Amino acid sequence: MTAFTPQATDYAERVRTTFDRQPFMAALGARLGDVAPGAVDIHLDRRPDLCQQNGFLHAGVSTSIADSAAGFAAFSLFKPDTDVLTTEFKVNLLRPAAGDHFVARGRVLKPGRTLTVCRSDVFAVADENETHVLTALLSMMTMPGPAA
Amino acid sequence: MTAFTPQATDYAERVRTTFDRQPFMAALGARLGDVAPGAVDIHLDRRPDLCQQNGFLHAGVSTSIADSAAGFAAFSLFKPDTDVLTTEFKVNLLRPAAGDHFVARGRVLKPGRTLTVCRSDVFAVADENETHVLTALLSMMTMPGPAA
Amino acid sequence: MTAFTPQATDYAERVRTTFDRQPFMAALGARLGDVAPGAVDIHLDRRPDLCQQNGFLHAGVSTSIADSAAGFAAFSLFKPDTDVLTTEFKVNLLRPAAGDHFVARGRVLKPGRTLTVCRSDVFAVADENETHVLTALLSMMTMPGPAA
Amino acid sequence: MTAFTPQATDYAERVRTTFDRQPFMAALGARLGDVAPGAVDIHLDRRPDLCQQNGFLHAGVSTSIADSAAGFAAFSLFKPDTDVLTTEFKVNLLRPAAGDHFVARGRVLKPGRTLTVCRSDVFAVADENETHVLTALLSMMTMPGPAA
């Protein structure tokens, strides 16, 4: 894993401030976890209203936290006075998202001036065990204008 | 556009019944629209809690209705006593999802015994105008067991 | 289908000149077909050395002409003194690529200053019939510097 | 990395025999490298006829070896008397494919009875250094009938 050097000294605070301004993450009950340069985790607890007809987490929910974790991982490497926008992503659903606790791990694969390519993986967490339920590849774009 | 022949005579009722059992679609306030063989629309109104920090619909929300519209479009062509599971999808976000009303249009491109490939597009709707905000390609798998 | 207005009056010539400079298209025996603003076709005849172990066209070959058709479709809308680069794509293989003649149809879905999103479809052509074998979504980036 | 147990004792020989029957891999000059359960490498040397107008490896070429490496990685875990078919993939091109030697590393992420999800990465190799030029997610389907 390459170690990345952030361009903003207050990168972690910028991530946390911007996360707190995302109404949809709050609506899902998602919580920000570890924040490092190019690596951001998001945690989510299962709620019945986030599920499909069969009781598994809806793919839209696991995708939402995967997308946000990757977006913030990219954003952590951006210059001050920039914002982040997802331009595209691909998701493979590896297993039904069964479980009570989930973590999305967004990781930068390749930073870029315009486009930053990320991977994001969602795991169901139970005791000490993690089950891999989703893997994604995502492209994030640097936008002008302050996000925080 | 190929016309598809459904294998279940009550395909529309099966789609509506299964949609009504999806807690997450209800949580988003999503409503089922037109249901035809291989073609299902889902409508959504903007709510502040479904947005990002900049007031646009969160990509996870537009993706969720795109995924569900495609899943039900595939499901409408399945035999009775089957269920549907998304195995993977790819989303391109064409424009910021600005607007008050949105529609996701799921369409089957290629039905199959095991895998059904779909396209899904989300449009922001204002008066008579539609703005294309998201396009997706998705794979749906036929699963044994009754969904409805 | 939106009609696009090219920014270069000699867009078709630029596409043809650049196509002729692609050694790999020549190696595959691919030929440029119709060129319109935002829409480019590429034709290919089956050769045994382009196939898999089962006699179908290798997915890498059908993907190559799909990618090039989309790249030139995007390029046809670019300003003079620019080049095009594929940043990412997603391919769904709908059917085995059986047949003697194939056409890839690249179409711009959404032009942009930095990123242009395209669709590309490959069909096996026999007499009057076309069989849809591949569908793709692709992102093309505008690069500085003359391509032609 | 999970260790996988192959279902065919002669898995490596099956991979090598099937690879040798792919005319397109031979046409590209691609060579099979390490073969382990769920992990297959393919090597390729740059040739002018495999390039774009700018001298970089054509995206269709790097994608072809990425696809084949992943397909054989999946195939190495299949039962005897089965074949493998790519159903879909997504590629992110991280950097221009500059260099003289390339290696594609296909790895199984999640084996399955019907679908096996793989990752595949292509690196430009120079002396001791590797540069990551492509990352892909792919779905491989198990097909009845002997491949070898």
pTM for the whole thing? 0.95
Q: How far is CA B131 from the centre of its chain?
A: 17
Tell me the pLDDT band of A146, cut-offs 50, 70 and 90.
low
Does D88 contact B at CB distance below 8 Å? yes
Residue pair C137/B135 in contact (Cβ under 8 Å)? The answer is yes
Whether D58 and C22 have beta carbons less than 8 Å apart is answered as: yes
3-state secondary structure of A104: strand
Reference C89, options C58, C60, C51; nearest CA is C60
DSSP one-letter code for B49: G
Residue-level pLDDT at D39: 98
Please report, as a single letter, which amino acid is at residue C72.
F
Closest CA to C76 of C42, C105, C51, C111: C111
Task: Outline where DSSP puts E strands in D3-148.
Answer: 31-36, 39-45, 82-93, 101-110, 115-126, 129-144
> Domains in chain A, start-ordered, CATH in brackets?
11-144 (3.10.129.10)
Alpha-carbon span A104 to A61, nearest angstrom: 11
Under 8 Å between Cβ of D15 and D83: no
The percent of residues in chain D predicted with pLDDT above 70, rounded, is 97
Contacts within 8 Å (CB) and 24+ apart, D118-124: D118/D70, D118/D71, D118/D73, D118/D74, D119/A135, D119/D70, D120/D66, D120/D67, D120/D69, D120/D70, D120/D73, D121/D66, D122/D62, D122/D65, D122/D66, D122/D97, D124/D97, D124/D98, D124/D99
Give the pLDDT score at C147: 54
Residues A54-76 have pLDDT tens digits of: 889 999 999 999 999 999 999 99
pLDDT (tens digit, 9 = 90+) per residue, D77-120?
999 999 999 999 999 999 999 999 999 999 999 999 999 999 99
Which two structure tokens, joined as six digits, stand for C1?
């289908």
CA distance D106 to chain B (A): 19
Residues C71-98 have a mean pLDDT of 96
Interface of D with B in 106-145 (CB under 8 A): 114-115, 117, 137, 139, 141
SS3 of residue A95 by DSSP: coil
According to DSSP, residue A21 is labeled T
CA nearest neighbour of C72 among C134, C130, C123, C20: C20
CA neighbor of D11 nearest in space, from D69, D68, D64, D81 = D81
pLDDT tops 60 at residue D148: no
Residue C60 burial (10 A CB sphere; 0-12, 13-18, 19+): buried
Model confidence at C146: pLDDT above 70 = no
pLDDT of residue C68: 97
Chain CA centroid to CA C102, Å: 12
A135 and A121 Cβ atoms separated by less than 8 Å: yes
Q: Are D44 and D107 in contact (CB under 8 A)?
A: no
B147: number of Cβ within 10 Å: 19
Q: Which residues on B lie below 8 Å from D115 (Cβ)?
A: 87, 141
Question: What pLDDT, on a 0 to 100 scale, did the predictor assign at position A98?
Answer: 94
ipTM: 0.94
Q: Which of B49, B61, B67 sits opposite A59 (nearest CB)?
A: B67
pLDDT at D2 over 60: no
The pLDDT, as a whole number, for residue B121 is 98
With an 8 Å Cβ cutoff, are C64 and D67 in contact?
no
Strands A82-93 and A39-45: unpaired
CA distance B144 to chain A (A): 13
* Ranges assigned E (strand) in B63-128: 82-93, 101-110, 115-126
- Shortest CA distance from D57: residue in chain C: C24
pLDDT over 80 at C129, yes or no:
yes
Residues of chain B predicted below pLDDT 70: 1-2, 146-148
Torsion of CA A87, A92, A96, A100, to 10 degrees: -50
Q: What is the DSSP string of C57-110?
A: BPHHHHHHHHHHHHHHHHHTTSPSSEEEEEEEEEEEE-S---SSEEEEEEEEEE
Question: Contact C24/D49, CB-based, under 8 Å?
Answer: yes
Q: What is the largest distance, in Å, between two alpha-carbon atoms of chain D? A: 45
